[in-house]
Amino acid sequence: MYQKRKWSVKTVVFMGFFVAMNIVLTRFCSVNLGPFRLGFGPASTIMSGLWLGPLAGGVVGMVADLIGCLIDGYAVNPFITVSAILWGVVPGALELRLARGNARRKTVGISVSVVTAAVLSTIFFNTMGLVLFMGYNLYAILPGRLIQFAVMTPLLCVIAVTLYLSPLTNILAGYFREQRAGI
């Protein structure tokens, strides 16, 4: 028999925290250069996927993008929304497979998941959204998008690995383990 999975109030509160962190980091603590944005907003979505799971990470990315569109006065671009969802889903899903074992293996697994998410999000979906919906020329923006990828992806890898290998992961794991046990 299929049992419906429910999120606890604690999980939803954590998701709201990650959404707020994403909005602040993306909308107020980033550099906008036309079709390029240099900021650390995806770091909160990545960590929500790693700590809360891929579904929660995807919801965090989607909600943060939709609220961000309202704040900035943009129309919702489905390609960029899918990109925001992938920042949480891909690291969360790959973490289940790759980030097991010792610290070195976890570092490699998390880095692979962040690079995979960055390729799908930054290079593919965001670029297609800018070309198809915003009217940018692909050949004009692709070099800048590749530079953005080359600059931001290593920084996001370092942030994700540092936070994941910090005591915060054990604290949150214990917190959610208590929650599942009903303590």
More confident call, 144 vs 98: 144
**pTM for this entry:** 0.89
Average pLDDT over residues 54-83: 93
pLDDT of 74 strictly over 90: no
Which percentage of the chain shows pLDDT scores above 70? 92
pLDDT of 22 strictly over 90: yes
* SS3 call for 80: helix
Which one-letter amino acid corresponds to residue 3?
Q
What are the two backbone dihedrals, phi and then psi, of residue 182, each rounded to the nearest 5 degrees? 85, 20
User: How confident is the model at residue 1, as a pLDDT?
Assistant: 45
* SS3 call for 37: strand
- Contact between residue 71 and residue 27 where contact means Cβ atoms under 8 Å apart: yes
- Look at the domain 10-181 and name its fold: Arp2/3 complex 21 kDa subunit ARPC3 (1.10.1760)
pLDDT of 23 strictly over 90: yes
Domain ranges of the chain: 10-181
51 exposure class (CB count in 10 Å sphere: 0-12, 13-18, 19+)? buried
